[in-house]
Amino acid sequence: MRRTLAIVVILAVAALVECKPKEAKRGIRTASQKLRAFMSGLRSRAVADPEERTARRLDVLSKLGFSAEVLRDLKALQMFSRADEDPFCDLKVDCSVDSNRAFVDGQEYRTQSGQCNNLDNYDWGLAGVQHKRLLTNAYDNGKWSARRKSVTGTNRNIVLLPGARKISNAVHATDSDKPLDKASLSSAFIYFLQFISHDITKTPEGDVPTNTDCCNSTNPFCLPIRVEVTDDFFSAGDCYDAQRSFTVLDCDDTSGFQNQINDITAYIDGSMVYGSSDAELKELRSFIGGYLKTSTANFMPEAEDTEDLACDNVEDPDLCFLAGDTRADVHPGLTTFHTVFVREHNRVAAYLGELNADWSDEKIFQETRRIVAAELQRITFNEMLPKVLDSSYVSKYGLSGSYSYNKSVDASVIQEFTFGYRFHNLMPAVFHMAELVGSSVGNTASHEQEDVWQSPGFLLTDNYRGVDHVLLGLVANGCPFINGLMNDASRNFLFVDENGDSFDLASINIERGREWGTPAYYLYRQMCGGVTISAWTDLASTHSADVIADLQSVYASPKDVDLWTGLVTETAVGTSIAGPTMSCLIGMQFANLRNGDRFWYETSDADLKFTTGQLSELKKVTLARVLCDNLDVATMPKDVFSTSGSWVDCSTISGMDLSFWAD
C-alpha cells in the first residue's frame, strides 16, 4: 500500500486534472483488495481456504513433533517445508480406465481439468500441477527464500540486489504517452494476448488472511515491496501490500524446494471460457441445448459471490461477470473477448442443436466446446503468434509446420515462460470506445487506463451496446510498443483506489521473479543464444546502448538482471514484439502446447479427429469473423490485430459452414 507524502498526491492529482478530465470515483475496493482478487481464488487444490491451509500445515508440523513455540513462529514453515508435500506427486491415475476420461456416445472429449490428456502421464497440463523449471532454482537458500543477493557479493560480504521500484524507475519508466508501434498493431491484439494467457497460466497466491496488511506483518507468505528512494510518484518508505505465490514441495525428494503451481489447465482449450474443473463448469452451463448461461442482452451471467473476482465498478459495484477464469473482469477489453466467446459457444450450440435434433445437451455442449477450442487454437497460431514472434522463430520452434502429436511432450507451463509472456509494456495510456458511422469508425469516449481497471460495467453502457463500442475501440486504435517501457497507468496507477493507493506492476513482476527463485536473465540468454555473458558489452547483441546504460545504472552486474526486466527490454526481432530470449521461451511453450496436446484440432488420430470437411471449415475461421458473428458490427478489418488494413463488410469475411457437423 502506498503511503505518500500529501504534497506528492496533490501535485500528481493536480497535474492529472489539468490535462486529463477524469472520473472522480474509483470503485469501493482498496488497491490491496483489488490486487488480491486478481491472483487469489485458488481453485485447483482441495484446501482452497488460506486459513484452513495454514492450519493444516501447522497440524502436520505438530504431528512431526515440533514444539508449540516453533509452531507459533510461522517462519518455521520455511525451514520445515515437508508439510507442503504435493499429493499430485504420488497420485496414480490410470488413464486406460474410461471413467478417468470423458466420453459422450463413444466419442472422447477433453476432460475439464486436463486430466489424462496425456495417457501415460495423467497430470501433464493438469489444473493444479507444479510449474516446470528450465533451470535450477535461484532461491538464496536453495529452498524458498527469495533471490536477493547480487553476484558481486561474497558469503562474508553480501551485496543485495537493487529494490524492484528502483529498477522500474531506471529501466521501465516513461512519462509520456508512447508513440504507436512500428507494425501498426491494434489494441485488440493486446487484450487477445491477455485472453490467451488466461487460457494457459494462473499462478495463485495463498495463505495470507484477507485482513492482513503485508506491509506490517511477519506472515511468511507476505511479500511487502518497499520503495527505497522517493521518486516522482511514490515516497521512500512506501510499501506495496503484495503476497507470495502458493507453493508446494517439488516432487523430486532430494531437492526439497518450494514450487509454484498453475491453477488452470495449460492447454489452449478455452479454460478461461469453461473453467478448469467440473465444479466451475457446472456454474456456467445451463444444461439445456448445450448452452452456457447468459444474462440480459446475451452477456455472461452475473456472479453472486464476487469476493474472489477482479471487479470493482464505479457505477455498479455489484456487477461482476462470471466466467471460466477469475480474472475475466480486470479490464473491459479482456471482458469483451470473454463475452464474444461465450456468445460464439451459444451460436454454435444453437446451430448444432437444430442440425442434430437427437443430440443430448451433453453431446451438443461437448461438441461445441471442441469447436470453440479449435477456433482458439487456430486464431492463436494463425493470427496471433506470427505477430508476437518473428517468422524465424515461428519456424525454429515448428509453430507453423504440420502437426503430429508427441506423447513425450509435457504441455505444463514453464515458469520462466510466464515472465516471457507478461506483455505489460503493450498497455496503451488511454482506453477508447468507438462507433461505426457509415463506413468509418470514430472514437466516442476515451478514459484514462487507470479508470477502467476491474470495471466490466463499460460493456453494458449505451443500452448494452458498450461491448460493441469497446471492441471497435480496440480494433481501431493502435498499440504502443517500445521495448521495456511501461505507461504510468500500470507503473504508478495499477488498481488505484479512492485513497490514491496503488501499485507498480513492473515492480511486482520483478519481485515475483525473485520470490519464485527464478534465475537471472543472463542464464536464459546463454541457454537460448549459445553465448556467454560476463560483461555489459555482451548484452550488445540483444539490448540497445540506451537500455544497457539504464540497466548498468542500477544493477551491479549484468548477471544480476532480473528475468522479466532482461526479457522485456530486449530489442524486438524484425517487426515482432519479442527479442531473442523472449522468443525462445515463448516458442518453446507454444510448441509444447501444440505438440503435447492429444486433442489438438489438427490431430489425425482416428478417434479424435475432425472430418476432412470439418477441418477445412475450421481453417476458415478468423477472429474478424467471430467478432462479426457475435457483436452488433457491420464491418471489420480482415486482420483485427492490424490497424493498417481497410474495413470491409462482414459479409465478405468468410467463416465456417457448420452443416459439416450434421450426423
Instruction: Give the residue numbers of the binding site for heme b.
Output: 424
> Which chain residues interact with ligand HEM by CB under 6 A?
38-39, 190, 193-194, 197, 201-203, 330-331, 334, 418, 421-424, 426-427, 453, 505, 508-509, 512
Q: Which of ligand NAG, ligand HEM, none does residue 216 bind (CB under 5 to 8 Å by kind)?
A: ligand NAG
Cα–Cα separations (whole angstroms), residue 400 to 361, 385, 537, 601: 35, 10, 35, 14
In the complex, minimum distance from the CB of residue 221 to ligand NAG, in angstroms, rounded to a whole number: 17
Q: Which of ligand HEM, ligand NAG, none does residue 406 bind (CB under 5 to 8 Å by kind)?
A: ligand NAG
d(CA 312, CA 30): 9
Residue closer to ligand NAG by CB (options 413, 426) is 413
> Can you list the alpha helix ranges (DSSP code H) found in 228-329?
271-274, 278-284
Which range of residues in 41-49, 193-201, 403-411, 445-453 is near ligand NAG by CB under 6 A? 403-411
8 A C-beta contact, residue 113 and residue 91: no
Strand partners, 240: 225
Residue type, 461: T
In the complex, minimum distance from the CB of residue 29 to ligand HEM, in angstroms, rounded to a whole number: 14
Q: Which of ligand HEM, ligand NAG, none does residue 9 bind (CB under 5 to 8 Å by kind)?
A: none
Active site residue 198: yes
Residue closer to ligand HEM by CB (options 510, 533) is 510
Q: Which of ligand HEM, ligand NAG, none does residue 576 bind (CB under 5 to 8 Å by kind)?
A: none
Residue type, 236: A
Which range of residues in 80-88, 166-174, 404-412, 626-634 is near ligand NAG by CB under 6 A? 404-412
Q: Which of ligand NAG, ligand HEM, none does residue 452 bind (CB under 5 to 8 Å by kind)?
A: none
Q: Which of ligand HEM, ligand NAG, none does residue 408 bind (CB under 5 to 8 Å by kind)?
A: ligand NAG
d(CA 479, CA 499): 30
Question: Is 440 a binder of ligand NAG (CB under 6 A)?
Answer: no
In the complex, minimum distance from the CB of residue 36 to ligand NAG, in angstroms, rounded to a whole number: 18
CB count, 10 Å around CB of 274? 27
d(CA 368, CA 362): 10
d(CA 544, CA 177): 21
In the complex, minimum distance from the CB of residue 488 to ligand NAG, in angstroms, rounded to a whole number: 27
Question: Is 408 a binder of ligand NAG (CB under 6 A)?
Answer: yes
Q: Which three cell numbers stand for residue 176?
A: 509520456
Residue closer to ligand HEM by CB (options 260, 614) is 260
CB count, 10 Å around CB of 410? 17
The residue number whose beta carbon is nearest to ligand HEM equals 331
Cell 498526491 belongs to which residue? 9
**DSSP assignments along 315-368, one per residue:** S-TT--B--SSTTTTS-HHHHHHHHHHHHHHHHHHHHHHHH-TT--HHHHHHHH
In the complex, minimum distance from the CB of residue 438 to ligand HEM, in angstroms, rounded to a whole number: 31
Q: Which of ligand HEM, ligand NAG, none does residue 330 bind (CB under 5 to 8 Å by kind)?
A: ligand HEM
Residues 6 or more apart in contact with residue 450 via CB below 8 angstroms = 488, 489, 493, 494, 496, 502
Please report, for the chain, how many H helices and E strands are present, in that order. Answer: 25, 10
Mark 214-233 with x for binding to ligand NAG (rule: CB under 6 A) and - for no binding.
--x-----------------
Strands (E), 173-303: 222-226, 239-243, 247-249, 258-260
Residue closer to ligand HEM by CB (options 592, 635) is 592
Q: Which segments are annotated as binding site?
A: 424
8 A C-beta contact, residue 606 and residue 463: no
d(CA 258, CA 141): 11
Given the residues 131, 198, 331, 432, the one annotated as active site: 198
Residue closer to ligand HEM by CB (options 326, 346) is 326
d(CA 411, CA 200): 10
In the complex, minimum distance from the CB of residue 277 to ligand HEM, in angstroms, rounded to a whole number: 17
Residue closer to ligand HEM by CB (options 434, 567) is 567
Q: Which residues of 67-83 are buried (b: 16+ CB within 10 A; e: fewer)?
A: eeebbeebebbeeebeb
Mark 176-215 with x for binding to ligand NAG (rule: CB under 6 A) and - for no binding.
----------------------------------------
Residue closer to ligand NAG by CB (options 132, 345) is 132
Element (H, E) at 647: strand 647-649
Residue closer to ligand HEM by CB (options 38, 522) is 38
In the complex, minimum distance from the CB of residue 99 to ligand HEM, in angstroms, rounded to a whole number: 31
Residue closer to ligand NAG by CB (options 400, 406) is 406
Question: Is 409 a binder of ligand NAG (CB under 6 A)?
Answer: yes
Mark 362-401 with x for binding to ligand NAG (rule: CB under 6 A) and - for no binding.
----------------------------------------
- DSSP 8-state symbol, 169: I
- Residue numbers 525-584 binding ligand NAG by CB under 6 A: none
Cα maximum dimension of the chain: 76
In the complex, minimum distance from the CB of residue 427 to ligand HEM, in angstroms, rounded to a whole number: 6
Which one of 406, 532, 611, 644 is in contact with ligand NAG (CB under 6 A)?
406
In the complex, minimum distance from the CB of residue 595 to ligand NAG, in angstroms, rounded to a whole number: 7
Q: Which of ligand NAG, ligand HEM, none does residue 654 bind (CB under 5 to 8 Å by kind)?
A: none
> How many residues interact with ligand NAG (rule CB under 6 A)?
4
Which range of residues in 227-235, 340-348, 405-413, 439-447 is near ligand NAG by CB under 6 A? 405-413
For residue 238, count CB atoms less than 10 angstroms from its CB and return exposed for 0-12, middle for 13-18, buried for 19 or more.
buried
* Long-range pairs for 213-222: beta carbons < 8 A, 24 or more residues apart: 213/1, 213/32, 213/241, 214/241, 214/242, 214/243, 215/1, 215/239, 215/240, 215/241, 218/74, 218/75, 219/74, 220/74, 220/75, 220/77, 220/78, 220/244
Q: Which three cell numbers stand for residue 422?
A: 507478461
Which residues are near ligand NAG by CB under 6 A?
Answer: 216, 406, 408-409
**Residue numbers annotated as active site:** 198
